[in-house]
Structure 1
Amino acid sequence: MLLRLAAAAALLLGSLTSEAQTDAPIAVIGATASASTWQDPVEALGTLKADESVTLSSTLTGTVSAINFEDGDSVAAGQWLVQLDDDQAQAELRAAQALLGQRQSAVDRAQQLQDRNLGVRATLEDNAALVKQSEAEIDAIRARLADHRLQAPFAGTVGLREISIGALVTPGTELVTLDKLDTMKLDFTVPATLLSVLHPGLTLSATTPSYPQRIFRAQVATLGTRIDPVSRSLVVRANLANPQGRLLPGMLMEVQLNQPPRQALTIPESALVPDGERQTVWLIEPGQPPHVTRREVTTGERREGEVEVTAGLDDGQRIVTHGTLKVREGDAVELIAENVGEGDIKDVLERQRRATESQATESRDRD
């Protein structure tokens, strides 16, 4: 796009200068090389994960007797979600409690006899041991009863319900998913060569095809502790706030990580004139009138409409940005505008065209 604009400007500038006298300076648009704050973006692809995520499954064989959620419900920590038939376990609990009562009565009678020195101490101790055994059996049955009722280990959002009342489940059967979605973990990889500039707190922006107009901003939270020996990359994690629940686990995110800012000498990208494998610019030398010389430059990073120059130019030097295809080494130039935005170039050229036509008309009238 920039090359097409540069070519169009060159043709327009060329048409303007062709109408002028052949020895007149060539009309060009220029810019000043200047130092500016530059942040080298690092682009990566990341995947979203829920802040907490679990798939609840059965630990025993049983029949589903009750379900306490609907698809996509928000549930509280400790809320029960699925109840398995526990009639047999409840019967075992009642039997164990009855046996405990019987054994406790035996202990009471043995204690009364012992208090009157009519009983045997060993009998009291044996009955007390049986009471403790019954209490342990009751605790075990209650633990099994707890396995019949699945509870949410944390507050979150349940997924789609895939089971129905009356379904037979076995150990390992997945019953429901639960995700904590108010905060999302964004994991992405960056080259290990950037390890020296990575640290928690670096800002980043992320986008997803699901919401193409939305930019999600976050900070680096954690750096991985291992470098992948194959890709030589490091896993970086950021936390994204998700109060509206728009982001979901598994989403692909395009991440742009901002490195610490630095000062860089920049020029408009339209000023570059390729010369084989080299990059050159037309440097505007001061004079009456100014003239241009070709200068080779070394470029660094690029961003929209701008390029970093690492060698070949100094801060404050002026270069040609539009009209580069018309000038030659040593040509005199007329700087009709400087540091003009791409959207204003047409207006500049139109004003110059009208001025040239006016001069030509005046010249004909004098003749």
Structure 2
Amino acid sequence: MFKRLILVLLFLALVFGGIGYWKYRQFQQMTAQLTAPRPPATIASVEAKRESWQPTLRSVGSLVAANGIAVTNEVAGIVQEITFESGQRVEEGAVLLRFEDSVERATLESLRADRQLAQAQYKRAAELIPKQAVSKSEFDIAKATFDAAQARVAEQEAVIRKKTVRAPFSGLLGIRQVDTGEFLQVGTPIVELQALNPLYVDYALPERNFRELAVGQEVQLRMDAYPGEAFSGRVSAIDARVDEGTRSISVRATVPNPDGRLRPGMFAEVQTLLPQRDDVVSVPRTAISYNTYGDFAYVIAKGENDALTVQRRQVTTGRVREGWVEIMKGLDAGETVVRAGLVKLRDGQPVTIDNSVELKDAEVGKQ
């Protein structure tokens, strides 16, 4: 019985001793892995460069005609004649539409006859007043009657003139909205008229950019209708107030449009060009990462035996242009930074440079 107990205890000691030894070996291996030097990471590098930049303020806006209206009628009537075609270019004063005006013209002839009679009576009274053949009151009545008759004629002539609708300015007509023989109430839209040269582009910028704005600055426009093509203009007006709701300020630029390729209502991407800067330090946008503490870049430095390591450095970034980002603080021109291969890169890690390394999607954004 006693021998059996000793054998069991020896067996258990061997089992637990083996387990303990196995765990100890595992711990030693883990410790060795943790304390082993990190192998060099393969990265691609680029030098921060100093260059001239044309800073821009980006926004979106809409094209607006310098003059643009819906042509309407001032008097009611039946359309007698339409003298334009949809989409036609017209000059200022061109006749667009005439109303039937026979009744108004007949009334005008009657009023002219009344005026002629009143004029004759006034002239006769004027000849007789020096001879005291008529009283002063009779002369005044004759004069007032003639003046009233003349005013009624002028009024009727104005009514007849309004029976002809003319283009108030030169421009391009839209689609005709009325037909011959149709009765139009006062203010009925007849056709759109847009002056196309020049055009305005209206857009808004945040109030923080207000001090950078000035009348006369160049703007560049890009439209979906003309991919890859830019149109130039200049800032012509800056609003007198900042919108309290959006904290933005409205800006208007004038855009030449001599060939009429641009049309009011088009959507435009607008860049306001600021004065050129000649001392901008920049790196590729892919070289910048961020965490909760802000933007940072990995700067490549030489260590012992010319071994390359990386140092994480906080940077302050500015504007972005064509894939490059402005470095306002934290890097100097000529310093070499990591542009690709940032995944799992750590401060102080050894690296080897291979500029054929391409950026992986996982490297963009938060590190």
TM category (shorter chain) comes to 0.7 to 0.9
Query: How many residues are aligned here?
Result: 315
Aligned-pair CA distance for 1:224: 0.9
Matched, 1:221 2:236: yes
- The residue that corresponds to 2:35 in the other structure is none
Which amino acid in 2 is paired with 1:318?
T
Partner of residue 85 from structure 1, selected from 81, 88, 100: 100
Q: Distance in 2 between the 1:185 and 1:273 partners? A: 40
Provide structure 2 residue ranges, at least 5 long, that are not aligned to the other structure. Answer: 1-39, 358-367
Contact 1:299 1:307 in 2 (8 A): no
Say whether residues 1:297 and 2:304 are aligned partners. Answer: no
- Which residue does the alignment assign to 1:169? 184
Distance apart, 1:67 and its partner CA: 1.4
One-letter amino acid matched to 1:266: S
d(CA) in 1 for partners of 2:219 and 2:202? Answer: 12
Aligned equivalent of 1:360: none
Q: Which residue matches 1:312? A: 330
State the Cα deviation string for residues 189-211 of structure 1 (Å, max 9, x = none): 11111111111122222222222
Give yes or no for the alignment of 1:55 onto 2:73: no
Matched, 1:36 2:54: no
Partners of 1:203 and 1:257 within 8 A in 2: yes
Quote the offset at 1:40 in angstroms: 4.2
Shift in CA distance, 298/70, structure 1 to aligned 2, threshold 3 Å? same
Partner residue in 2 for 1:268: 284
Structural RMSD (CA): 3.0
Alignment of 1:10-25 (within 5 A): none
Matching residue within 119, 125, 129 for 1:104: 119
2:84 is paired with a residue whose SS is: coil
Distance between the aligned counterparts of 1:62 and 1:174, measured in 2? 14
- CA offsets per residue over residues 28-53 of structure 1, 9 Å max, x none? 65432222233443332211111101
**Equivalent position amino acid for 1:132 in 2:** D
> Which of 297, 303, 311 is the equivalent residue of 1:280?
297
Match among 66, 78, 83 for residue 81 of structure 2:
66
| Alpha-carbon distance, 1:336 to partner | 7.8
1:352 maps to none
**Residue deviations 1:253-309, cap 9 Å, x none?**
122233333332212334446677653313233886463332313141333332223
Task: Classify 1:92/1:275 alpha carbon distance in 2 versus 1 (closer, same or farther; 3 Å).
Answer: closer
- Do 1:291 and 1:331's aligned partners in 2 also have CA atoms closer than 8 Å? yes
Letter in 2 for 1:265: V
Question: SS at 2:331's partner residue?
Answer: coil
Sort the Cα spacing of 1:42 and 1:108 in 2 relative to 1 into closer, same or farther, 3 A.
Answer: closer
Query: 2:199 maps to which residue?
Result: 184
> CA 1:284 to 1:113, structure 2 compared with 1: closer, same or farther past 3 Å?
same
CA contact (8 A) 1:29 1:320 kept: yes
Secondary structure of 1:244 counterpart = coil
1:93 and 1:289, CA in 2 relative to 1: closer, same or farther beyond 3 A?
same
CA contact (8 A) 2:299 2:335 kept: no
Corresponding position of 1:199: 214
Mean Cα displacement is larger for which, 306-315 or 157-166? 306-315
Distance (whole Å) between structure 2 residues aligned to residue 273 and residue 196 of structure 1: 30
Cα separation, 1, equivalents of 2:290 and 2:242: 39
- Give the conservation status (yes or no) of the 8 Å contact 1:192–1:233: yes
Q: How does 1:109-258 map to 2 (within 5 A)?
A: 109-114=124-129, 118-258=133-273
Letter of the 1:208 counterpart: M
Cα offset for 1:229?
A: 1.1
Amino acid at match of 1:264: V
Give the whole-Å Cα distance in 2 for the aligned partners of 1:169 and 1:336.
78
How far the C-alpha of 1:121 sits from its partner, in A, is 4.3
Task: Among all aligned residue pairs of Structure 1 and Structure 2, give the percentage whose two residues are the same amino acid.
Answer: 27
Q: TM-score, structure 2 length as denominator?
A: 0.76
Q: Determine helix, strand or coil for the equivalent of 2:169.
A: coil
- Looking at structure 1, the residues matched to 41 and 88 of structure 2 have their Cα atoms a distance apart, in angstroms, of 72
Distance change >3 Å, CA 149–CA 267, structure 1 → 2: same
Letter paired with 1:71: S
Give the conservation status (yes or no) of the 8 Å contact 1:68–1:81: yes
8 A contact 1:43–1:255 mirrored in 2: yes
**For 1:225-253, what per-residue CA distance to the aligned partner results, in whole angstroms no more than 9, with x for missing partners?**
12111111111111111112122221111
